Amino acid sequence: MERKNGELVTAEGREKAELLDVVLDAAEQCGYPKNADYNSGDQEGFWLFSGYSKKW
C-alpha cells in the first residue's frame, strides 16, 4: 500500500477465524481466484483485507 510520502506499512490481523480459510477455498472452487495483492490493478478474486493502525 502506498501513501503520499512513501510506503504505508500494513499487516494482516493477528487472529484469523478458521472459517475464513474455508470461505477462500470455496470461492476458489467456484472459479474465483485467490488474490493476495488486490492493489495490483487486478481486483478480481477473494482475499483478506490488510489493515493499518498506529498507537500515538
pTM above 0.85, yes or no: no
Choose between 39 and 4: higher pLDDT.
Answer: 39
- The DSSP element (H or E) to which 6 belongs, if any, is strand 6-7
Distances (CA, A) of 32 to 1, 18, 28, 46: 23, 20, 5, 7
Condensed to tens digits (0 to 9), the pLDDT of residues 17-55 reads 788 889 889 999 999 998 877 777 788 888 877 666 665
Long-range pairs, 6-15, Cβ under 8 A, ≥24: 8/52, 9/52, 10/50, 10/51, 10/52, 11/50, 11/51, 11/52, 12/48, 12/50, 12/51, 13/48, 13/51
